[in-house]
Structure 1
């Protein structure tokens, strides 16, 4: 029988992803140990071949998958473990777009299961920093069907039928599977998504990748995944100081904003899953069950489901708080 340590707030080694469109804001703003062209920092990941490892406490060096296999519902909650077993259900990222990302679409759970034996990809973006004239591409700018879409694609006029949206710091968007989208140049954001790396690339601005080769497009796969209906993605929300304020909710996760200007006791007993905090500004000390951990801007921490409450010691910190209801 394996003897295991008590669970505590867990920090993980960021997994840095080099991208042709990546920049240097993850290093400059979030102090990541990143070179130029790092587009993504995977903060907590159970994706195959990119599985996070613990960097703090007695479980240092253990993988997220190992934690799931050993601690089960104590780590993620009984309902989550029943539904997902030893698959960690969410992926947390910071993304820095120096250039436009490819125009792409993701499959839903049904299609992803059929094609890839995996989860679909519902995701949420929270805008952290923007440059002048930064914009997102989300959906289409008018009524469109498969025939019109394919015509625009074949004539290299796909950008003419896509909807662009100007953004500012603090904007939040939920992107359901089937939504055609792209992150525009000059945007730094936090992304919360289902655990999936299935992306169908529609258009890549006719540019080569970091190896000088053109990246593969997935025209046929994308057709079966695109939702041609129009649906609002931007979230309208109001935040209050020193209390969790909901900014986005899907059937797969709930995201709150938590802006603290003083010490705060967070009761987690009503949350049936693990809780993740992505630190956007400031710094705090987390105390729980005799364990103390610090979290600073650009860091992410997972609070196991087993822990009933945590206390933040701070005079200024801002988080995204994420859990599964």
Structure 2
């Protein structure tokens, strides 16, 4: 078994009708086109990332999981349903509005075989002035009201629109109607799922010139009309050297940390740790490193094995830390 070290992956880029070129600002090199998603750490049939660095370079996250299992990923680190890595980490460039959508819970009977539900959270990395998102239903909107609005073309009147700026966090449990909108770049931590039900897509054509498929019946079925526990918070008052909890649910814990000086930390045998570098620059060091310390910069994502042990962050940078509860 190789000596544990932080893993960085080659992103899997996804072209989307709403995408743009903003991921280039992180030093990434997406292919030509409207690139909406960079799957940064992924173990899914629709995208599996490969290790870029160290002894495991070239291996997919699926191979890492199969070969090194709970020693590297933690005693909780492999999904019981489907056997895959339990989380999917993305950077999203919303050059245009995303479809209005909703995700199912794990127990929705119409899920594709082997697929999970999708609870997720967003951390806003960048937002143009006046940017907003769709985040839940207006008061009093039930299934009948939403169905009628879809039929008569007034669905936008049923949706809550919320202004956003960099540093905002949104927790989106399965069942929450939502949409990122134009001018927003986010880091997304989510269950390892690619199941999205589109309620409404502004009657626009897809990349192929044809209208994109809608999933109205599934959407009406899985929407949590009384609310699913969605929460949002401003994070600009985070204290350097202390973790600010952004989201906690059965699937993940996400915390924000501001690094202003050396910060000594450690992984747990129960779970891997994922670091997403949001801004600034710094370094990542760890015990038994057989190479130079890693230079951190915005947009990078690292998977720290559960058996890594002690590690140190330094510099002037902001990171998200995600792990299993």
TM-score normalised per structure 2: 0.93
Q: For 1:1-325, what aligned pairs fall within 5 Å after superposition?
A: 4-27=1-24, 29-34=25-30, 35-81=32-78, 83=80, 86-111=83-108, 115-230=112-227, 231-235=229-233, 238-269=237-268, 272-291=270-289, 292-312=293-313, 314-325=314-325
CA distance in 2, matches of 1:214, 1:252: 33
The CA deviation at 1:232 is: 4.5
Give the C-alpha shift of residue 321 in structure 1. 0.6
TM-superposed deviation, 1:131: 1.1
2:87–2:191: 8 Å Cα contact kept in structure 1?
Answer: yes
Superposed CA deviations along residues 202-229 of structure 1, whole A, max 9, x for unmatched, are 1111111112111001111212111111
How many angstroms does 1:315 deviate by? 2.4
Q: Is the 8 A contact 2:176 2:230 kept in 1?
A: no
CA contact (8 A) 2:126 2:166 kept: yes
Structure 1 segments (4+ residues) deviating >6 Å? none
Q: Deviations over 1:161-181 (max 9, x none)?
A: 111111111110111111111
Deviation at 1:184, TM superposition (A): 0.8
Task: Output the CA distance in 1 between the equivalents of 2:285 and 2:305.
Answer: 13
Task: For residues 6-29 of structure 1, give each alpha carbon's deviation from its aligned partner in whole angstroms, at most 9, with x where no partner exists.
Answer: 2210000011111111111111x2
Shift of 1:112: 6.1
Deviations, residues 104-138 of structure 1 (Å, cap 9, x unaligned): 11000101675543211000011111112211101
Q: For residues 101 and 82 of structure 1, what CA distance do their matches in structure 2 show?
A: 28
Query: Residues of 2 paired with 1:85 and 1:155: CA distance?
Result: 39
CA drift of 1:54 comes to 0.1
The answer to whether the 8 A contact 1:113-1:119 is kept is no
* Residues in 1 aligned to 2:277 and 2:323: alpha-carbon distance in whole angstroms: 15
8 A Cα contact 1:171 1:234, kept in partner: yes
> 1:82 and 1:104, CA in 2 relative to 1: closer, same or farther beyond 3 A?
closer
The alpha-carbon deviation at position 248 of structure 1 amounts to 1.6
Q: Tell me, which stretches of 5 or more residues in structure 1 are unaligned?
A: none
Segments of structure 2 that go 5 or more residues without pairing to the other structure are none
CA-based RMSD: 1.7
1: CA distance, partners of 2:110 / 2:191: 13
Compute the displacement of 1:272 (Å): 2.2
Number of positions where the alignment pairs a residue of Structure 1 with one of Structure 2: 319
